[in-house]
Amino acid sequence: MPSIDRRRFLRDAAATTAVVSAGGLAATSATPAQAAPTAAAPGPTARRKGAVSFRWWGTAGWRVDIGDRAVLVDPYLSRIDTGLFTGAFQTATPLTVRTDVIDGRVDRATTVLVTHTHWDHFMDVPYIAERTGARVFGTLTAYHLGLAYGLPPTQLSAVKGGEVLDFGDHSIEVVGSLHSRNASYSVAFPGVRVNQPPRPATIADLPEGDTLGYLLRVDGGPSVYFTGASDVAERNLTGLSPDVAMVAMQSATTTGDYLPRLLAGLDYPKVVVPVHYDNFETALENPPSVAETDRTRLNEMVAAIRRISPRSRVLVPEYEQAYHF
Ligand SMILES: [Zn+2]
């Protein structure tokens, strides 16, 4: 009963007990004016259909346009070469924000959601926040790193999981999650920042800093769950039941039952969108460049989703195409 006064409804219903029936209740106990909100209640897609678009920016990055507002998730457009995909990973790679790539794509942003603070999720965020004035949501580590880049504390919102943030025509629920493990059961650049560090200079200066997921619910539109890394604390997913899930691909198999636990925890979403499968050290051009081993992993992931959740549609996204759910 979303929009009528529940107590008044019950009181009126009580006054007309003699004629109450499932069909007659509204008609007999409410005046036309009272009944109107019920009649006018929007259907699931009535208000926002076509107005919400989702564009993948590679890695775990998204631009979501909701009316005249833009929500960004892990926007990483610089895609600098660290040697990660050529077998010569350099942990001392300097952080280089490519404004030439970013500026044309980020004309505006109201909200930036950060799943974790590794460079391929966070490196471009301070520049984007400064350019657009967007509010940045992330862990306490993201907060302290934002300060280190000179962002004002008033533009940074530290969250930990469990928060439900109301933006009027959409809401964002923060979900405590976990980072992927590599083949040796560890996490790259582990660690948190509990106070403001010096300004980061290399990719190693951006620690994982704990990992979050985000559920975006749009009024009269879809609910979409975003992940940034391939592990799951499935007990935190209870009741979220998103329509769509953006699911990071695993690059190691050291996390047991990742997809079965994630998809069950999310109640088998109608649409599952694999992300973080691309070589994010190449230009943002379709078709996405995918390392050979990752192509195999992606194919296995798609097959596994179909097996685990046969009713889900699997959508392997391309860069910057507008998807509507
Ligand atoms: Zn990461």
Compute, in angstroms, the gap from residue 116 CA to the centroid of ligand 1. 7
Cα gap 108→67, rounded to integer Å:
12
Ligand 1 geometric centre to CA of 144 (Å): 17
Q: Is the pLDDT of residue 38 over 50?
A: no
Cα–ligand 1 centroid distance for 209 (angstroms): 9
Q: Take residue 155 and report the two structure tokens written for it.
A: 């533009």
Before 287, cis peptide (omega within 30)?
yes
Whether 65 contacts 52, CB under 8 Å: yes
Residue 211, φ and ψ in degrees, nearest 5: -130, 140
CA of 60 to the centre of ligand 1 (A): 10
Q: Quick one: 122 and 16 in the same domain?
A: no
Ligand 1 mean position, distance from CA 46 (Å): 37
CB neighbourhood size of 3 (10 A) = 10
Q: Which of 41-50, 64-73, 82-91, 129-138 has the lowest mean pLDDT?
A: 41-50
pLDDT digits (tens, 9 = 90+) for 128-185: 999 999 999 999 999 999 999 999 999 999 999 999 999 999 999 999 999 999 999 9
Same domain, 20 and 152: no
CA of 188 to the centre of ligand 1 (A): 7
Q: Same domain, yes or no, for 152 and 120?
A: yes
Please tell me whether residues 32 and 142 are part of one structural domain: no
If you measure from the C-alpha of residue 38 to the centroid of ligand 1, how many angstroms do you get, rounded to a whole number? 46
CB 188 within 8 A of CB 205: no
Indicate whether 26 and 131 sit together in one domain.
no
Ligand 1 center to 51 CA (angstroms): 31
Same-domain status, 196 and 164: yes
pLDDT at 51: 82
Domain for residue 46, yes or no?
no
What's the CA-to-centroid distance between 206 and ligand 1, angstroms? 10
53 has pLDDT over 60 = yes
Mean pLDDT of the chain: 88
**Burial class of 146 by CB neighbour count within 10 A (0 to 12, 13 to 18, 19+):** buried
Let me know the angle formed at the C-alpha of 133 by 129 and 137, rounded to the nearest 5 degrees: 55
Residues lining ligand 1 (ion), CB within 5 A?
118
How far is it, in rounded angstroms, from Cα 288 to Cα 279?
A: 7
Q: Please tell me whether residues 143 and 283 are part of one structural domain.
A: yes
| CA of 45 relative to ligand 1 center, distance in Å | 34
CA atoms within 13 A on the CB side of 305: 28
CA of 42 to the centre of ligand 1 (A): 39
Cα(314) to ligand 1 centroid in Å equals 23
The domain in which residue 29 lies consists of 8-40
pLDDT at residue 191, as a whole number:
96
Mean pLDDT, residues 293-315 taken together: 98
In terms of domains, do 165 and 291 share one? yes
Q: In the prediction, which pLDDT does 50 show?
A: 52
Work out whether strand 211-218 and strand 170-177 pair parallel, antiparallel, or are unpaired.
antiparallel
Whether residues 35 and 56 share a domain: the answer is no
What CATH number should be reported for the domain holding residue 243? Answer: 3.60.15.10
Q: Measured between alpha carbons, how far is residue 206 from residues 147, 150, 203 in Å?
A: 13, 15, 6
Euclidean distance between CA atoms 147 and 125, whole angstroms:
12
DSSP 94: B
Gap from CA of 154 to ligand 1 centroid (Å): 26
Query: How many domains, the chain?
Result: 2
Q: What are phi and psi of 88, to 5 degrees?
A: -135, 60
Q: Say whether both 164 and 26 belong to one domain.
A: no
Burial track 46-60 (b if 16+ CB lie within 10 A, e otherwise): eebeeebebbbbbbb
